Amino acid sequence: MNELNEYLALVEKRNAEREALAVTNPENLIALPVPSGATWLHLPFTLAQYAVGGRLPLHLAERLKAVRDAGGSEAEALSEDEMTEIGVNSLLIVRDVMLNKLIFPKIRLEPGADSILPEQIDPEDFDFFKEYVMGGGQAAQNSFRQQPNRETRRAAAARSSRKGARRSTVKNGGNS
C-alpha cells in the first residue's frame, strides 16, 4: 500500500507542477473563447481517462450513437434510467474538468477571493463548456465559431420544442 501512496503523491505533485508551469508559460494552456465573449484558459484533458474509470458509460454511448446514425431518436435508443445515467455522469465529468483543469476562471465549490462558484458562470458559457468537454475539447471549440447568435438559437429551440409537443400529441392519438 505504501507504493500506491507514493505513486498517488507523485501524480499529485506532477499535476501541481503542470498547473504552475501553465500559469508561468501561458502557451501551455488552451484558450477557449466562450459565448459571453470571455476567453477561458484550461490545461489539456482527455476523456479516455474517464471512460477507463467507468464514469463515461461507453456501452450506452455506443448504442445511442448507433441509433442516431440510423436516424433514430434518443428515446428509441435508451431507457429513461439510461439517459439519466449518461446525464449524471456527464455532469460529474464536466465538474471534475472545471475544478481541476480550468485555470481562468478558477472555479471552486466554496467561495474564495481568487475564484468563482459554478452558479456564477454565465449559463450559455456553462452549456458551451459542458458540450466542449463532452465533445473531447478541441472539436467543440471549432464549432463555436459557426454558432448562431442568441436569437437564432432561441428561435431554433422554440421550433424544436413545438415539434416535440406535436410528436407527443400524435403519439397520444391527438390527446394532450
Per-residue pLDDT at 147 exceeds 70: no
**Dihedral sign (CA 108, 113, 119, 122):** negative
CA distances from 142 to 20, 98, 149 (A): 27, 20, 16
Residue 118 has pLDDT above 70, yes or no: yes
Residues 6-55 pLDDT 10s = 888 888 888 778 777 766 666 778 889 999 999 999 888 887 777 777 66
Gap between the Cα atoms of 76 and 32, Å rounded? 34
- Does this model's pTM top 0.75? no
Q: Provide the terminal-to-terminal Cα distance of the chain, rounded to the nearest Å.
A: 61
Output the DSSP codes for 96-123: HHHHHHEEES-B-SS-BTTBB-GGGS-H
Q: What is the pLDDT of residues 96-105, one digit of tens each?
A: 999 988 989 9
pLDDT of residue 165: 47
